[in-house]
Amino acid sequence: MGSENKDQRKSYFLRVASYLLGLNIVEEKLKNTEPLETFLDSNTNLLVFSRSEQKLELSNKMKSSAPSANVLRVVFYKTQSVPLNNENFKSVVNVISANGTLNHVFLKSVQNVFGKELTEGNNMQLIAAVNELEESLLATVEMSGGGSLHDEIRSWKGQSGRAAQDYNEAFKQLQLLVETMEERRIDELSELVETFEDTCDELWNCGVPYPQPRMKMLIEYGSSYLCEAITFKIDDSSIWRDEKVSDQLRSAIDVCDQMLIVIRLLTSQTWKRNVEHTWEGDPMDMKFLNGFKERLDEILSLRSLGAQLEGLLEERGIREETEKTIETAMRGMAPMAYNPFTEPNWKSRLLVAERAIEGTIDRTLPILKQRLAPSNGDSQSIVLSLEKLKSFLCRANIKEKLQHEREMFLNRLISMLSQKNQEFSEKSLQVDAKNFQFLTEVAARIVWIRQQTSQMESIRSLSKMMLNDISNYNQFAQKLDEFIEKLQYAEKECFDDWCRETVGLIDNKNETINLETTGKIMYLEASNRELNVNYSDRLLRLLKEVRQLSSLGFKIPSKILSCANNGEKYYRFGVILKQIAHFYNTIDQQMIPSQQSLMLEEAIAFEKLVIPRKDASNSASKVTWNDPKQLEEFIVQLQTAEQKLSNRNRRLRNVHMELIEMVEKLMDLNIVKQNNEWKEIILKIRSKMKEEEVVHGAARNNMKPWLIHWDFQLYKALLIQYEWGIESIQSQLSTISVSLVFVDQKIQLRPAIEEIRSKYYKELCRFLRIPDKFRGVQEDETVSALR
């Protein structure tokens, strides 16, 4: 053997390069060993082994290659510019491997190896330099993509031009979310998906549209980032024990579904219909995201087994035992680390876990059979109860052992579907809006249809997982899909009918749904003298319908929306004016007839405003909707006048009620024996009348109907007491003391009979003359009521 073959230095570098490149490199087979010799025996700092397919090349320089070339490099470089000997060839030489274009490799080494450590220090100058270097490198790899969502966003920052500026602007909100994602909870990832959708759509519709190949990469990066964010937020180490993990998994599954729907809609509908920039080819197939979501479903299903077994068996400790068994079976496995290539390993470990708890699962079979039994309630209630056990019932071993019960349950679902279909055909247009509080008729009907649709989708979801291996399932699934389509069509037709009807009303000049802003705000009906507002109840209902239908996700036609926006603009004024008009039309019913003249001044002031008058600039005939300032001033005047009249009426009614109580009390007082109490109450009544005149400024002439009314009531009280007194006259008159004396041999009366008669007739006459002496409230208050 030659001396060169025994060179330890050469053997070391050839062995390392062979291992990294997957080749057996020996010196004899090398066409050119000069770069190796130069690297070993001179101050040359670099030695590169480059493999392209099965070809090997040595060089003392890094040579760039095309992005499409599959070049793998092993690079040795010295930390000191010295020749190598047997003592220093390992200590002064470092080695790295590089696969791909040089700028891309350098970028990833900065980002993933050197940059992270350097930017965690306190040297701000060094951090700024690393960030600047990273952005510069990103700009050089823009044609091949940055490799991640973060890189794709930053790759446009170092570029100039109008397109790059538009893209940077579109990425702003998404970048903000990405940079703060570590601080956010898992249930906030839905905001990331929404922002990602808005960003992609904005990029697609830019002045210079985002290229479709680049958009495909961006969507892949976005879905990968979502999976990474979910994996980061769910702790693998406590996934089988922590209570909150189940909620986190459900949130994660919902977010994945949301992302899949967004991508499907954008690439199969929204961008397909875009005339200026149409999506070419098939919609994107998100295999990795779908697989990741399925993994989350499987973890949640396994994670929920303990709680489901405990709920079915109703035994203490069964949940903890099951979770411990599953955790033991899954030990050493990272369930969140999804990779299509390691999926067989996951499936086999999943099978081990299920076999470990198979005995416990078998004990639930009698309970499940009972729940599926025909006598155990209607099919819809069974579906609701089984929905919670969906992930449990879809297991192959359980499905096999419940074959007969599942077939019977499917037959019942087929029967129920037929019945539901018939009921819908009969009742779809007869939905009672009273069952849906606060909803308009059209919104109530749509909500009812959606309730039916939701029930059918629950049945579809459950049956697809639980019954899909039964012979007549496909026929049932087809009918169910047809019924769901029928429901969805009925919902669309319901909305379309409403649109057609509403547009017809708007176009009809005889209808009042469309607010005429240049017309009068109020008018007086000639037939019944009722005050009406030119803001129809139908318009009020339209505003409510538009709000409710918009919240249900419908796109309102522009003509209806314009009408509603116009009505919404004056909605506040319309409601206030309707309240004022209602007050005007019903105030006579609120007033006590005898008090109406007392409110004459306030009523006239109010009426001058509401009744159209040609000679008044501030009346309803001069104010229109299209002058908001004048309208608001007019409404303030109306409200002030209404408030004055309403307050006066409310106060007078209170006074009236107080007077009623006083008169009722008089009816219970003996007019002869409790004469002083009578006088006091009548004086109080008179003071109330005087207060109205003096304090509140009522004109005496306007008070007459009220005073006459109360005089009449007082005389009623007097009549009651007078008639009762006549009926019991003997008990009403004062007692006359009479003595029998024996004088002059005679029995005599003292006082004499004539005197007794005189006293008696005097008392009787005083009682009988009470009505003659009685004076009501129209008399001056200085005059006694019972003179």
| pLDDT more than 90, % of the chain | 15
Mean pLDDT of 595-621: 74
| Cα angle: 766, vertex 770, 776; to 5 degrees | 155
Tell whether the model's pLDDT for residue 44 goes beyond 90: no
In angstroms, the CA 108 to CA 114 distance is: 9
- Rounded CA gap, 444 and 635, in Å? 35
Single-letter residue type at 515: L
CA dist., res. 64 & res. 54, Å (int): 18
Q: If you average pLDDT over every residue of the chain, what do you get? A: 81
Q: What is the mean pLDDT of residues 60-85?
A: 78
Please state, in angstroms and rounded to a whole number, the distance separating the CA atoms of residues 133 and 230: 30
Res 145: pLDDT: 46
As a whole number of angstroms, the distance between CA 231 and CA 19 comes to: 33
Q: What is the tens place of the pLDDT at every residue in 423-474? A: 888 776 667 666 777 888 889 889 988 988 998 998 888 888 888 888 888 9
Question: Which two structure tokens, joined as six digits, stand for 351?
Answer: 């099978």
- What pLDDT is stored for residue 65 in this prediction? 64
What is the DSSP track for 508-552?
A: -TT-SSS--TTSBSEEE-TTT--EEESS-HHHHHHHHHHHHHHHT
Q: What is the mean pLDDT of residues 605-617?
A: 70
Label residue 489 by pLDDT band (50, 70, 90).
Answer: very high
Instruction: Please determine, for residue 779, whether its predicted confidence score (pLDDT) is greater than 90.
Output: no
Phi, then psi, of 314 in degrees rounded to 5: 55, 45
CA 434-440-446 angle, 5° bins:
95
- Cβ-contact 154, 146 below 8 angstroms: yes
- In the numeric block, the tokens 């019991």 are attached to 728
Query: CA 514, CA 506: separation in Å to the nearest integer?
Result: 6
Give the contacts of 769 (CB within 8 A, at least 6 positions apart).
Answer: none
CA atoms within 13 A on the CB side of 6: 3
Tokens of 140: 């050089």
Q: What is the DSSP string of 430-473?
A: ---GGGSTT--HHHHHHHHHHHHHHHHHHHHHHHHHHSTTSTTH
DSSP, collapsed to helix, strand or coil, labels residue 281 as coil
- Residue 600 is predicted with a pLDDT of 86
End-to-end CA distance of the chain: 157
Residue type, 715: Y
Which one has a higher pLDDT value, 373 or 112? Answer: 373
What pLDDT, in 10s, does the model give residues 379-428?
Answer: 667 777 777 777 777 777 788 888 888 888 888 888 888 988 888 887 76
User: From CA 287, how far away is CA 289, in angstroms rounded?
Assistant: 6
pLDDT confidence bin for 353, thresholds 50/70/90: confident
Q: What is the mean pLDDT of residues 213-235?
A: 90
Q: Is the pLDDT of residue 529 over 50?
A: yes
Angle 501-504-508 (CA atoms, 0-180°, nearest 5)?
A: 140
Give me 710's structure tokens.
Answer: 């109360």
Counting Cβ atoms within 10 Å, is residue 783 exposed (0-12), middle (13-18) or buried (19+)?
exposed
- In this predicted structure, the answer to whether residue 160 has a pLDDT above a threshold of 70 is yes
Task: Tell me what pLDDT residue 111 has.
Answer: 62
Average pLDDT value for residue range 505-529: 71
- Give kind and range of the element (H or E) at residue 740: strand 739-743
Quote the strand ranges of 88-131, DSSP E.
93-99
What is d(CA 443, CA 553) in angstroms, rounded to the nearest whole number? 11
Most confident of 12-26, 84-98, 252-266, 684-698: 252-266
pLDDT at 194: 94
Instruction: State the average pLDDT over residues 561-575.
Output: 83
φ/ψ of 235, rounded to 5, equals -75, 115
pLDDT of the residue at 149: 85
Burial 242-281, CB ≥16 within 10 A → b, else e: eeebeebbebbbbbbebbbebbeebbeebbeeeeebebee
Q: Which residue has the higher pLDDT, 606 or 729?
A: 606
CB neighbour class for 294 (10 Å; exposed up to 12, middle 13-18, buried from 19): middle
Tens of pLDDT, residue by residue over 282-312, are 999 999 999 999 999 989 888 888 888 888 8
Res 256 pLDDT > 90: yes
- Residues 626, 627, 628, 633, Cα dihedral to 10°: -140
Question: Residues 141-157: pLDDT tens digits?
Answer: 544 444 678 878 887 87
Q: Is the peptide bond before 751 cis (omega within 30 degrees of 0)?
A: yes
pTM of the full predicted structure?
0.58
